[in-house]
Chains A and B, each alone.
Chain A
Amino acid sequence: MNKTAAILASSERFNALFSPEGIAVIGVNSHPAKFGFVAAHNILRHDYCGRVFLVKRDSGELLGEKCLESVDDIPDGAVDLAFICTPAAANPDILRSCAAKGVKAAFVVSAGYGEAGPEGREAQAELVKLCEELGILLAGPNGQGLVSPPVGLCAQIVAPMPLPGNIGVVSQSGNLVSSFMNLVEGTGIGISRGISAGNCAALGVADYLEYFAQDPETAVSLAYLEGLPDGRTFFDRAKKASRVQPLVLLKGGVTSGGAKAAASHTGSLASNDRIFHGMCRQAGISRVADVEEAVDTASAFSVLPLPRGRNVFVLTTAGGWGVLTADRISRSRDLSLMDIPPDIMAGFDAKLPSRWSRSNPADLAGGETRDTLPECLELVVAHPDVHAVVLLGLGIQSNQAHLAREGKFYPDNGLERICKYHERQDMRYADAVVDLMSEYDKPVLVATELAAVQPDNPGPARLRACGVPCFSTSHRAVTALEHLARYAKYRETRGI
């Protein structure tokens, strides 16, 4: 245990895992369906900035790279990360050779360990012991691999490779790493590190969370967890990590049916869900209910400023959206649908026809002209009593433009000109959101289903290009905002 702690303390070894100078893929295979091929392919396919060595039993060439027959052929000190796809029985010798070459960290893909009965558990214990002796930081085994987009590293046996960003992902299930990253892809938000923790033989979820908390590339942690060998220690460590940055956590095995599945999946003990929930609140963890909420929340933390209070103002270009959003906020324990401040009322009265709603949600009722929306938005965002803003209706003008462009009357009848105007307007609105949010350091959450169904719509597309989330429903936006508000309050009430 002391030895493990010493290894953990060494961020040098974590750096070897997530930004290695050089990587060796061991167990390379020329069959494109084998892990040993896919891993080599995924690393070479991207622009990893370090050196890559492929170790293949029968040497030869793969994807234009000359393969080495053995780890012994790697130049001394050229590699600090080993990515191991060989059968479990071969691994002890391989790891010894790796250590001799100066390898500091290993990701072991190989199965046949803790998940594979008593013999596997014994092999896993030996693997952990050996790596401790060799001074190698052990990730996995039985994991899908890792990505580190800031250094262009895609060392995994699955897709995708996300954009570089500031969300650190760790999961006890490799598929969930993929799900998180698939959902993040296409939002304009990026990933700093992503790792499938596999059997967590030496490094558990808490170890990665601690690393993310001190990793300069990571500003938000996103974790999927099924069970915990030592809940109390996890609590203490997660609580420390959440003081540094937000920690979004999705827990599987919450019901007895799910717990049974989790037990056979990772061999983890299920916990009393109510105690787990209380633990999360106490540790400042943002616990989420599903994969979408996980990604929405992590994306929101990734980009949006934290609200400095619970007052939400809703700005909408049409009524129904505002009504539903008002209902959602009113049901929230963490947010308030504030009364419209008199000065915002007066400001809007001066800019809009009298049919606007004159309340919060402010329904502009289609009364806006060229500059109304950005001006009204600024009145709201700038107001000292407003802590967060939800904006609904981005992209509807471009949606009409889209319909017109596809139709038989386009481009005549003035349609070309008006389409361009509509699209410019939506881009201006998106720009206003980005600019005002940064100028006033307040969260503005934009929601429209067009973000999901019409990703090229200039409104959502512009936000995405600026790296700002556009939620597909206001319900999802408000749920993410609740997490922001709760975390902000957690910090405030504890003097963090």
Chain B
Amino acid sequence: MRAPTRFLSEFESKRRLASYGIQSVSERLVFSASEAEEAGRELGFPVVAKLCGEGIAHKTERGLVRLGLATPEMVRVAAEELLAKARPEDGETGVLLGEMVFGTRELIAGVVDDPQFGKCVMIGFGGIFAEVLADVSFRLLPLTRQDAIEMIDDLETQAVLEDFRGEPPVNREKLVDILLGLSSFAEADESIVSVDVNPLIVSQGIPIAVDALLEVRA
């Protein structure tokens, strides 16, 4: 029934979301191990390296994410290994180097296209229990600020959004801005089929889009 779709690369997905105020980490897309070393120095260690390409939707399952790279040597090795893992169907690939984000809380946010209600913005708790707990809430496009505030309030596990293990409360204003950004983004571009910002790591209270995947009509 549905028209064919394709996924944009993580780099491109984040680039497009950034213009709607969805903050990610500082990143560099590089195409060789030596460029990676250089980029690592610019970003400051430790860094994260991921293989990045249009056809890559499940990085973790394929072992395409390297965390906590603390030296130029580690970055160079990681980049070499990742580039070697590229498959023809991944399209043009590079290595995406980004700052390492530290935070115990993971959220997910996104846009889904529901067969009955059309495009909806979603917010929920991520991490390993995300699917079992399924603590998520939705609103239909377009969102008002009040809708966004209320959809966060609708989440069951409010305590996780408060002071948590020595970290400050989640900045709800920033989270509201992200949800409004997703709404405007999906509204502005008809070709968007889904947006998956996962994880949205809460670092010192600020939600940061650590990974993002855009699905668009082919």
Contacts and interface: CB of A to CB of B under 8 A. Distances in A.
A366 interface: no
Nearest to B151: A278
Q: Helix, strand, loop or mixed for chain B's interface?
A: mixed
Contacts of B150: 281-282
B138 interface: yes
A231 interface: yes
Contacts of B137: 274, 277-278
B146 A279 contact: no
Contacts, number: 58
Contacts of B139: 278-279, 281-282
Interface string B37-76: 0000000000000000000000000000000000000000
B153 A333 contact: yes
Contacts of B134: 274
A269 interface: yes
Given A278-B138, A282-B140, A228 B116 contact: yes
A274 B118 contact: no
Interface residues on chain B, size class: 20 to 34
Nearest to A283: B140
A269 B116 contact: yes
B187 interface: no
A435 to B, nearest CB: 36
Contacts of B117: 231-232, 235, 271, 275-276, 279
A40 B154 CA distance: 49
Contacts of A2: none
Interface in B109-125: 112, 114-118, 120
A272 interface: yes
Nearest to B146: A493
Interface string A226-245: 00101110010000000000
A494 B147 CA distance: 10
B121 to A, nearest CB: 9
Interface string B131-152: 0001011111000101100110
Interface of B: 112, 114-118, 120, 134, 136-140, 144, 146-147, 150-151, 153-154
29 contacts: A231-B114, A231-B116, A231-B118, A232-B116, A232-B117, A235-B117, A235-B140, A269-B116, A271-B114, A271-B116, A272-B116, A275-B117, A275-B120, A275-B138, A276-B117, A277-B154, A278-B120, A278-B137, A278-B138, A278-B139, A278-B140, A278-B154, A279-B138, A279-B140, A281-B139, A281-B151, A282-B139, A282-B140, A494-B146
- List the 6 shortest-distance A-B pairs measured between CB atoms, nearest first: A231-B116, A278-B138, A231-B117, A275-B138, A232-B118, A271-B116
